């Protein structure tokens, strides 16, 4: 089968899977909490069906053209690099435009920014041309790596690797005040202003006596998956792989039970994070080797303080992950003793410490830890002493390969399953 026909086949298969999911998927089960929260969020909730159909229509047209296969490998490399450099230019110009409109010395910002806005229009037009090509190339490259890892059926990833770089919705996370646990997550419009975010949180917290937080996300395992705009290829590769792993897991027990328990959510997120990092490294090594050394260096020096800290590696003056770990442990202890108000006062005091060291956390509360604590691919951090993340990491260390790790954990539908495998 030619690469062109194979790409079209993948897109048609993806469409079939999408229609199957949309046709057979039940709406999220109504709950009292969900209904209560939606009183405050209904007007600003993200429109998933419209986004999905528009994104998929673009992917189907892209596949019909078979555009990535018209270019040699060095040209594909250049297209992706050029795209990321273009995004860098756009971000710089958008920042400059914001400064013009913020500067009190500029009496007429519209006139003063005319040339800048014209430049941005040209950059946006160029982005519209390059983005589909860059996305298709990266989809094909990741698919090749997945085939090498034997995570495919007949050489094809199921579901096919499809992603779209897009403004991402915010997530409203709701946790009880008396314990750290994500009870609900609602997706909100990408253009929701920070003052509106804070207002929604305040209303929900006051009316329902819960802890809520609107958080930005970098990727979302919709289909096609959503990826945030970035200038970092290593980060982009990680998120593409991370979100595809979620799609792949959804067709297996672990992913199908994502929302069943907090432990399973952490198992899912930690698994996707571990796999995303390893697949990203493979992608850089094969297709963008000039970026691999920098990626490895960053991965090493970003590790938290722990017995595994690389000997001789410089420690940052303020270890964010270690400090967040200590904060989480103390909060868990206070909440376990029923000292809710004291735990909340402590979190606010610690938020100010993070602020003073250059980490502008808007709200540090139970919902913050409920969301960030599920991503436990490295020791410490917001997960505190939650045993789930470490157990997933031990399973990866004991597995012969990434593929063995993924196939083993994908078949699990409880934390007990993971503990049983590790106890053998």
Tokens of 424: 């053998």
Choice between 70 and 22, residue whose per-residue pLDDT is larger: 70
**What digits encode the pLDDT tens for the residues 239-265?**
999 999 999 999 999 999 999 999 999
Of 423, 412, 420, 408, the C-alpha closest to 151 is 408
Helix (H, G, I), strand (E, B) or coil at 417: helix
Question: What does residue 156 show for φ and ψ, rounded to 5 degrees?
Answer: -115, 130
**For residue 5, what pLDDT is reported?**
46
- Distance (Å, rounded) from C-alpha 308 to C-alpha 302? 12
- In sequence order, what are the residues at sequence separation of 6 or more whose Cβ sits closer than 8 angstroms to the Cβ of residue 354? 320, 323, 324, 360, 361, 364
Who's near 136: CB < 8 A, 6+ residues apart? 7, 62, 63, 67, 68
pLDDT at 29 over 60: no
281 pLDDT higher than 90: yes
* pLDDT band (50, 70, 90) for residue 405: very high
pTM for the model stands at 0.86
Task: Round to whole Å and give the CA distance between 330 and 336.
Answer: 10
Q: Which residues contact 328 (CB under 8 A, 6 or more apart)?
A: 180, 369, 373, 381, 382, 383, 384, 385
Question: What is the percent of the chain where pLDDT is above 90?
Answer: 71
| 98 CA to centre of own chain | 26
Please state which of the ranges 62-66, 208-212, 350-354 shows the lowest mean pLDDT.
62-66
Residue, of 276 and 66, whose pLDDT is higher: 276
Q: Where are the domains of the chain?
A: 3-19+30-164, 233-309+319-422
pLDDT for 63 beyond 90: no
Q: At residue 69, does pLDDT exceed 70?
A: no
Q: How far apart are CA 270 and CA 281, in angstroms?
A: 17
- Give the best-scoring range by mean pLDDT among 48-62, 313-327, 334-348: 334-348
71 Rama class: left (phi>0) / alpha (psi -120 to 50) / beta: beta
Q: Which residues have CB under 8 Å from 346's CB, separation 6+?
A: 327, 330, 331, 334
């Amino acid at each position: 089968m030619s690469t062109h026909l194979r790409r079209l086949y993948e897109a048609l298969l993806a469409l079939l899977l999408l229609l199957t999911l949309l046709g057979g998927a039940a709406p999220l089960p109504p709950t009292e909490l969900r209904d209560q929260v939606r009183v405050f969020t209904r007007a600003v909730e993200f429109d998933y069906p419209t986004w999905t159909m528009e994104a998929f229509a673009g992917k189907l047209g892209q596949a019909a053209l078979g555009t990535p296969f018209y270019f040699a490998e060095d040209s594909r490399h250049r297209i992706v690099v050029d795209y990321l450099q273009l995004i860098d230019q756009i971000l710089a110009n958008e920042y400059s435009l914001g400064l013009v409109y913020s500067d009190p010395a500029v009496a007429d910002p519209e006139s003063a920014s005319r040339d800048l806005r014209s430049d941005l229009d040209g950059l946006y037009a160029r982005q519209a041309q390059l983005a589909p090509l860059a996305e298709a190339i990266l989809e094909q490259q990741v698919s090749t790596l997945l085939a090498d890892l034997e995570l495919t059926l007949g050489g094809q990833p199921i579901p096919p690797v499809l992603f779209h770089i897009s403004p991402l919705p915010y997530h409203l996370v709701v946790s009880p005040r008396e314990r750290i646990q994500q009870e609900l997550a609602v997706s909100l419009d990408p253009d929701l202003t920070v003052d509106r975010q804070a207002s929604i949180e305040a209303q929900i917290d006051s009316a329902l006596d819960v802890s809520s937080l609107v958080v930005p996300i970098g990727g979302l395992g919709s289909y096609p998956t959503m990826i945030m705009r970035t200038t970092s290829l290593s980060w982009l590769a990680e998120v593409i792989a991370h979100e595809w792993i979620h799609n792949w897991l959804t067709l297996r027990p672990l992913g199908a039970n994502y929302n069943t328990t907090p432990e399973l959510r952490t198992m899912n997120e930690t698994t996707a994070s571990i796999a995303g990092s390893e697949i990203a490294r493979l992608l850089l090594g094969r297709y963008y080797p000039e970026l691999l050394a920098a990626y490895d260096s960053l991965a090493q020096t970003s590790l938290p303080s722990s017995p595994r800290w690389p000997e001789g590696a410089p420690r940052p003056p303020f270890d964010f992950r270690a400090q967040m770990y200590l904060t989480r442990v103390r909060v868990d202890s206070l909440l376990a003793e029923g000292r809710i108000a004291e735990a909340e006062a402590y979190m606010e005091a610690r938020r100010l410490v993070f602020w003073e060291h250059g980490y502008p956390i808007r709200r540090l509360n139970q919902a913050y830890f409920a969301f960030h604590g599920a991503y436990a691919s490295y020791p410490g951090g917001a997960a505190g002493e939650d045993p789930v993340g470490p157990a997933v990491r031990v399973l990866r260390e004991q597995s012969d390969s990434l593929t063995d790790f993924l196939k083993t954990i994908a078949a699990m539908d409880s934390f007990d399953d993971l503990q049983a495998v590790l106890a053998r």
